[in-house]
Amino acid sequence: MSSDPIEIGPLSIDRTAAREATKLAAIVLCLVMVVQVVGIAVLTGGPLSILSVNEVPAEPDAEAWKDAPTETVSLENQQMIAPYGGGSVDDVTVQSVTNDTHVAFRMEWEDPTMDTEINEPNAYSDAAAIMLRSGDEPPITMGANGNPVNIWYWRSSWQFSESDPGGDMYTYPHPDNRTKPGQAAGNPLSQSAYNRYGQNYYAMGYGSLTNAETQPVAANGERTDDGWAVVFQREHEASGEYDASFEGDERMYLTYAIWNGSADEANGQKSLSYEFLTLDTEDGTLATADSGGSGDNSDGESANSGAVASATESASWLAGAATNWPAAIVLATVAAWLVSYWRIKE
């Protein structure tokens, strides 16, 4: 293919070949720009950010959760202190949303049985909890002396029991009636009815769980097609002594636990995460915690942390290269034009 050439100094350029090469270069230009946009979005995505919404939802099926980023957290059986056990739930997906005044966390997991009654021996309720601490990373063992943690707890029997949610099994016979000493003593686990399905606790290690004087946490659960979805909601500001603080710029550490009633899981027998997520309360970033906190870390965890850091550095370098869009566009367009021109001219 040839036509009258264009003379530019010592160069002679074929008009037809140049015209066709320019068309192909324009197509390449458009493709490069699309790749730039997609590449930047993927490579600079980084950790998941908490979704800012106008109204923080209290319902697990609220529309706001559809757009909230999701993290899947692996769970294992509790193997640090008696009673050992649990582990019937493999993982839980978690989400978070916030606004100027409130924050909410959503947990969802698979559980084929709906266990809501504790009205007889060996009957246990499904349940879920989040352990939080702002500042330094706490020990995974429900905190420690001098390292208190805040625990938000939901139990399905409080919300869905058709009998006494405090548990008829805890009654004692009396000549005139059956007595319920737990309710008489004001035990928060023995109430005859609940209007709030979330409880706020503090702990400084195993065996130290204490019901907080203030109860700012709301919780709400619902059955899904294959399990449970539960939302915990609270105002940013709370007045309790060890309440997790969502004000200021301290990093928040979170970990999760699930109890499956039909698997006889109660108390220490549970499925829990040995890995923390972090929530940056200043910019709303939710991510896997780096190793090196106050909890114990094995060599394997350190190596894994190094691999994560290396991958992060690589992603940052690629993101920087991708964002150098003028150079990339010029190089790709020129290369496409030259290759096309010589192939058409031949």
pLDDT for position 40 = 42
Would you tell me how many other CB atoms lie within 10 Å of the CB of residue 259? 27
Higher pLDDT, 161 or 176: 161
In a domain, 14, yes or no: yes
Output the average pLDDT for the chain.
Answer: 79
Last residue of a domain, one of 263, 289, 315: 289
Residue identified by tokens 């059956």 is 178
In a domain, 203, yes or no: yes
Could you tell me the pLDDT band of residue 52, with boundaries at 50, 70 and 90? confident
Identify which of 154, 161, 47 has the alpha carbon closest to the alpha carbon of residue 105: 154
Residue 150 pairs in a beta bridge with 132, 202
Domain total of the chain = 2
User: Is residue 131 over pLDDT 90?
Assistant: yes
d(CA 75, CA 41): 30
Give the domain extent around 33. Answer: 5-44+323-345
Least confident of 224-238, 265-279, 298-312: 298-312
pLDDT for position 54 = 86
User: Is residue 320 over pLDDT 50?
Assistant: no
Could you tell me the pLDDT band of residue 291, with boundaries at 50, 70 and 90? very low
Structure-block tokens of residue 275:
């890995």
Name the 3-class secondary structure at 40. helix
- Pair (252, 339) in one structural domain: no
- Pair (90, 215) in one structural domain: yes
Render 97-158 in DSSP notation, one character per residue: EE-SSEEEEEEEEE-SS-----SSTT----EEEEEEEESSPPPTTT-BTTB-EEEEEEEHHH
- Pair (250, 233) in one structural domain: yes
In a domain, 31, yes or no: yes
In a domain, 303, yes or no: no
* Cut 0.95: pTM above it: no
Question: In the predicted model, what is the mean pLDDT of residues 203-217?
Answer: 94
d(CA 257, CA 275): 11
Question: In the predicted model, what is the mean pLDDT of residues 170-190?
Answer: 70
Residue identified by tokens 């870390």 is 297
User: Is residue 43 over pLDDT 70?
Assistant: no
- Pair (254, 284) in one structural domain: yes
Residue type, 104: A
- Pair (276, 261) in one structural domain: yes
CA distances (Å), origin 72, targets 4, 102, 343? 65, 23, 51
User: Please, are residues 4 and 15 in contact by the beta-carbon 8 Å criterion?
Assistant: yes
- Pair (273, 137) in one structural domain: yes
332 CB-side CA count, 13 A: 19
d(CA 255, CA 152): 11
- Pair (126, 59) in one structural domain: yes
Question: In the predicted model, what is the mean pLDDT of residues 87-108?
Answer: 94
For residue 261, the 8-state DSSP code is G
- Pair (9, 136) in one structural domain: no
Question: In the predicted model, what is the mean pLDDT of residues 125-130?
Answer: 98
d(CA 272, CA 91): 9
pLDDT for position 11 = 66
Could you tell me the pLDDT band of residue 171, with boundaries at 50, 70 and 90? low
d(CA 346, CA 344): 5
- Pair (143, 193) in one structural domain: yes
Q: CA quadruple 199, 203, 209, 212: dihedral positive or negative?
A: negative
In a domain, 307, yes or no: no
For residue 274, the 8-state DSSP code is S
Angle at 324 between CA 320 and CA 327, to 5 degrees: 145
299 CB-side CA count, 13 A: 0
Could you tell me the pLDDT band of residue 160, with boundaries at 50, 70 and 90? very high
In a domain, 294, yes or no: no
In a domain, 68, yes or no: yes
User: Please, are residues 143 and 133 in contact by the beta-carbon 8 Å criterion?
Assistant: yes
pLDDT per position as a tens digit, 2-26? 456 666 656 667 777 777 778 777 8
Question: In the predicted model, what is the mean pLDDT of residues 40-65?
Answer: 72
d(CA 81, CA 83): 6
User: Is residue 297 over pLDDT 90?
Assistant: no
User: Is residue 176 over pLDDT 90?
Assistant: no
Higher pLDDT, 346 or 305: 346
In a domain, 295, yes or no: no
In this structure, what CATH number is given to the domain that contains residue 178? 2.60.40.1190
pLDDT per position as a tens digit, 253-287? 999 999 999 999 999 999 999 999 998 776 567 78
pLDDT for position 294 = 39
- Pair (335, 187) in one structural domain: no
d(CA 266, CA 274): 18
d(CA 81, CA 84): 6
